[in-house]
Amino acid sequence: MKFLALIRLTLRELAAKATFIILAAISTIVLLGLAAAVGTTTTPDGTVLQVFGQQASPPMPEDQIAEAIRGMQAGLAGGLFTGIILFGIFATAGVIPDALEKGTVDLYLSKPIARWELLLGKYLGAVAAIFVNVLYFMAGAWIIFGIKCGVWDTRILLSTFTITYMFACLYAVVVFLAVLTRNTPVSIILVYLYLFVVGPVLQNRETVLFLISDNTIYRSFIDGLSYLFPQLDAMRTNGAKQLLAQEMDWKPFLQSFLSASAFFLGGAVLLKQRDF
Amino acid sequence: MIAISTSHLSKTYTAGFRGKRQIHALQDFSLDVESGQIFSLLGPNGAGKTTFIKILLSLTRKTGGSARLMDFPVSDHKARRHVGYLPENHRYPGYLTGEQVLHSFGTLSGISGATIRSRTTSMLELVGMKEWRNTKVKKYSKGMMQRLGLAQAMINEPDLLFLDEPTDGVDPVGRAEIRDLLKNLRTRGTTIFLNSHLLSEVELISDRVAILDRGRLLRVGTVDELTSSGERYHIGIEGTLPEAFRTEAAAKVLSFSEAKNGLTIDVESIAGLNAMIDMLRRHHVQIINIVKERSTLEESFLNLIRREVSA
């Protein structure tokens, strides 16, 4: 009940924010564009893929059309993931610092809830808000591809969970930073710094950081550091594989779960120590 | 039953470079508050009043001593199951209506949705906010926020209610209503722990009062105990004091000050009062009445704090 109340409060908080409304509006515009753009037409030689009424592929059998659609869906999911990372983090980063503000945190913590419960409730609320947004987009895309192209592939619906999971892993890092700094702009800057600078450098450590030294301890440290954070790139690659009906590697998902748990736990421990 | 019990409670904040400067917000603070009382905590700004409440609600960690709420250690969040709290400068989400605030924070208190729904109307009615129940909180005035805060603090029908400046921003009529409400809660057995700067109001409703300054407990007692001004009496007389009385009093080093329709004396014991009465009677002064003087809670508070500062 208490978790549900916290999740509901967080959903209301986010629904009241302009950034979240903009996110939903962008999703709607993209879906309308998609509905206007894609389509198929049947010719005696096979089915032709159309974009804005123009022929976009040679006549193909049904299974090849489905494969081409899956490719489009994978591209769409990748784009959505990037959008969610950019806008979703921006829209939800304030959830924890706002809850920890003087005058608000007193109200929460004077209730019979533990501090980690407050943190978890707020975390789940933000993740639930992103889930609703991703589901809205993915379900819309699924219906559009189904109606206009005749491809009713449920993998695109499953990717709602994959994208939300990836966001949830990253959001655990945001939660840690938010508890540490209690400042929304600083949390956003730090997480973007990780996403656009630290993350890519660690991702390409073999061609960047390993050139600095061949010392084993140094390289092990860099390796360890890269595994400390959620493996967003590897998860995104595997997310696309899911849509393309290819075999997925679950290791990055498991490793990211452990990393996210560690960050969340770190945030909970920090919060437990804090005086308000 | 003891609602709040603290023993040698202390809280030290560290500040400055590498935490070298220490601020003692509470020092060796021992206090028991019995159930069913209105207990008020008084002190100047920075005395440690809010720190004390925050330790009891586990918002701030103590650095020493022990504290229990309703027989639970304060660190146990179950202790807060039967507690209501109206913090100073509380902030409710502006996108919620008054009714939604009560529902959301009521659920966090661990009570069922059906119970909350049944209590919401009566609580809003009690604090005079029924007609604003569907208005968004961001449109509320300061006084309305206080009233809503009070309803929120009472939604779980707590056994122990912490109120930090409950009448802040509330008009005089509203203040009187809140006072009546608190008295009513006391009759139902609710313990009320009040933190207020409005000493005249505290005086009107409190059963017991504690005064603290710079983290130390100076005095605890009933309002009567705190406001009785030592051994000061006003002796009402008929007519004026004869000159011979003044001369004898001066010779015996008995100090008094003339007041309207009589005189005021400060004596060390009841014997001193009797000596003064004997002398007045010897000079044929007609005594009408003898009244032990009291000061207001505010005067007592200020005297105590001033003495503490000069000490």
Cα A158 to Cα A154: distance, rounded to the nearest angstrom: 7
- Identify the residue among A4, A107, A276 best suited for mutation to test binding to B, counting B beta carbons within 10 A and taking the highest: A107
Pair of tokens at residue B97? 């209506």
Out of B78, B90, B95, name the one closest to residue A107 (CB).
B90
Indicate the pTM of the whole model. Answer: 0.83
Cα B13 to Cα B55: distance, rounded to the nearest angstrom: 13
Query: Residue B86 — pLDDT band, cuts 50, 70, 90?
Result: very high
Residues of A in contact with B81 (CB under 8 A): 112
Q: Which of A77, A46, A16, A123 is nearest to A244 (CA)?
A: A77
Query: Residue B252 — pLDDT band, cuts 50, 70, 90?
Result: confident
Query: Residue B311 — pLDDT band, cuts 50, 70, 90?
Result: low
Is residue B93 within 8 Å of residue B137, measured between CB atoms?
yes
DSSP letter at B47? S
Cα A53 to Cα B26: distance, rounded to the nearest angstrom: 76
Task: For the sheet with A38-43, list strands across it.
Answer: A38-43, A46-51, A54-55
**Predicted pLDDT at A42:** 85
Pair of tokens at residue B28? 């060796």
Interchain pair A12, B95: CB under 8 A: yes
Going by their DSSP bridges, the two strands B83-86 and B228-237 should be labelled as unpaired
Interchain pair B59, A109: CB under 8 A: yes
Interchain pair B93, A103: CB under 8 A: no
Q: Does the pLDDT of residue B129 top 70, yes or no?
A: yes
Adjacent-strand bridge partners of B236:
B262, B289
Burial of A116 (0-12, 13-18, 19+ CB in 10 A): middle
Interchain pair B105, A6: CB under 8 A: no
Interchain pair A12, B92: CB under 8 A: no
Burial of A77 (0-12, 13-18, 19+ CB in 10 A): buried
Out of A1, A102, A110, name the one closest to residue B89 (CB).
A102
Residues of A in contact with B57 (CB under 8 A): 106, 109-110
Adjacent-strand bridge partners of B39:
B193, B208
Q: Which of A157, A112, A107, A116 is nearest to A134 (CA)?
A: A157
Residue B93 touches partner A, C-beta closer than 8 Å: yes
B284-300 per-position pLDDT tens digit: 999 999 988 777 778 77
For chain B, positions 252-311, list CB contacts with chain A under 8 A: none
Per-residue pLDDT of chain A (276 residues; tens, 9 = 90+): 788 889 999 999 998 888 888 888 989 999 999 999 988 888 888 888 888 888 888 888 888 888 888 888 888 888 888 888 888 898 899 999 999 999 999 999 999 999 999 999 999 999 999 999 999 999 999 999 999 888 888 888 999 999 999 999 999 999 999 999 999 999 999 999 998 898 888 888 888 888 888 888 988 999 888 889 999 888 988 888 888 888 889 999 999 999 999 999 999 999 999 999
Cα A228 to Cα B26: distance, rounded to the nearest angstrom: 41
State the count of interchain CB pairs (< 8 A) between A and B.
82
B222-245 per-position pLDDT tens digit: 888 887 756 778 899 988 888 898
Q: Does the pLDDT of residue B141 top 70, yes or no?
A: yes
Is residue B167 within 8 Å of residue B86, measured between CB atoms?
no
Compute the nearest-CA separation of A225 from chain B (Å).
Answer: 28
Adjacent-strand bridge partners of B182:
none
Cα A266 to Cα B4: distance, rounded to the nearest angstrom: 33
HEC secondary structure over chain A: CHHHHHHHHHHHHHHCCHHHHHHHHHHHHHHHHHHHHEEEEEECCEEEEEECCEECCCCECHHHHHHHHHHHHHHHHHHHHHHHHHHHHHHHCCHHHHHCCCCCHHHHHCCCCCHHHHHHHHHHHHHHHHHHHHHHHHHHHHHHHHHHHCCCCCHHHHHHHHHHHHHHHHHHHHHHHHHHHCCHHHHHHHHHHHHHHHHHHHHCCCCCHHHCCCCHHHHHHHHHHHHHCCCHHHHHHHHHHHHCCCCCCCHHHHHHHHHHHHHHHHHHHHHHHCCC
A98-141 per-position pLDDT tens digit: 999 999 999 999 999 999 999 999 999 999 999 999 999 999 99
Residue type, A262: A
**Predicted pLDDT at B229:** 58
Out of A107, A114, A273, name the one closest to residue B87 (CB).
A107
Q: ipTM of this model?
A: 0.78
